[in-house]
C-alpha cells in the first residue's frame, strides 16, 4: 500500500472529492490524516465509537458522506466499531490489501477514497450478512438521530 491513499488507483472508480495531500492535511488533524489518507489504524479499544450505542448515522470524517447506520452496528468485542453492512451498497468501496503479510479487504469511502478499515467474512457473528466491517472510529463522525419533539 502506498502511504497516501491512492486516488489514481485504476481498479477503482475516480473519487468524487479529489484533494491534494496538502489540502487533506489542512482539513484533517494529524491523527485523522494518518488513518484516513495513509491507511493507518487507531489502537484497539481507544476509539470514541467502539462501545457507543447512540442511534444515528456514521459519516466519513474526511468528506461527510453517509457510510453506516447504528441499526447495522453490532458488538464484536474486537476493539473497533463493527457494522454488518454499509448504509447503502455504493457507500463504500472494497480493495484487496496484502499489506502486513496477509490478505485482507480494505474498506474505503466511495466518495473520497479515504481509508476506513477492513471487512471480514465468515467469522460466525449472528448478523444477517456474516460480515464484520471493522472501522476506525477516527474515520467516522456520528450524527445522532434526534428524538421526537416534546
* Active-site annotation, residues: 134
Please, are residues 5 and 37 in contact by the beta-carbon 8 Å criterion?
Answer: yes
Burial of 26 (0-12, 13-18, 19+ CB in 10 A): exposed
SS3 117: strand
Which candidate, 106, 17, 7, places its Cα nearest to that of 61? 17
Amino acid at each position: 500500500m502506498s502511504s497516501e491513499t491512492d486516488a489514481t488507483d485504476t481498479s477503482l472508480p475516480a473519487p468524487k472529492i479529489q484533494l491534494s495531500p496538502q489540502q487533506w492535511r489542512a482539513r484533517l488533524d494529524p491523527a485523522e490524516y494518518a488513518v484516513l489518507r495513509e491507511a493507518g489504524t487507531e489502537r484497539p479499544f481507544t476509539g470514541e465509537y467502539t462501545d457507543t450505542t447512540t442511534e444515528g448515522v456514521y459519516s466519513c470524517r474526511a468528506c461527510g458522506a453517509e457510510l453506516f447506520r447504528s441499526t447495522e452496528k453490532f458488538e464484536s468485542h474486537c476493539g473497533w466499531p463493527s457494522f454488518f453492512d454499509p448504509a447503502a451498497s455504493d457507500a463504500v468501496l472494497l480493495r484487496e490489501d496484502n499489506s502486513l503479510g496477509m490478505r485482507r479487504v480494505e474498506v474505503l469511502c466511495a466518495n473520497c477514497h479515504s481509508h476506513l478499515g477492513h471487512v471480514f467474512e465468515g467469522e460466525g457473528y449472528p448478523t444477517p450478512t456474516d460480515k464484520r466491517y471493522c472501522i476506525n472510529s477516527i474515520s467516522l463522525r456520528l450524527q445522532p438521530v434526534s428524538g421526537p419533539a416534546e
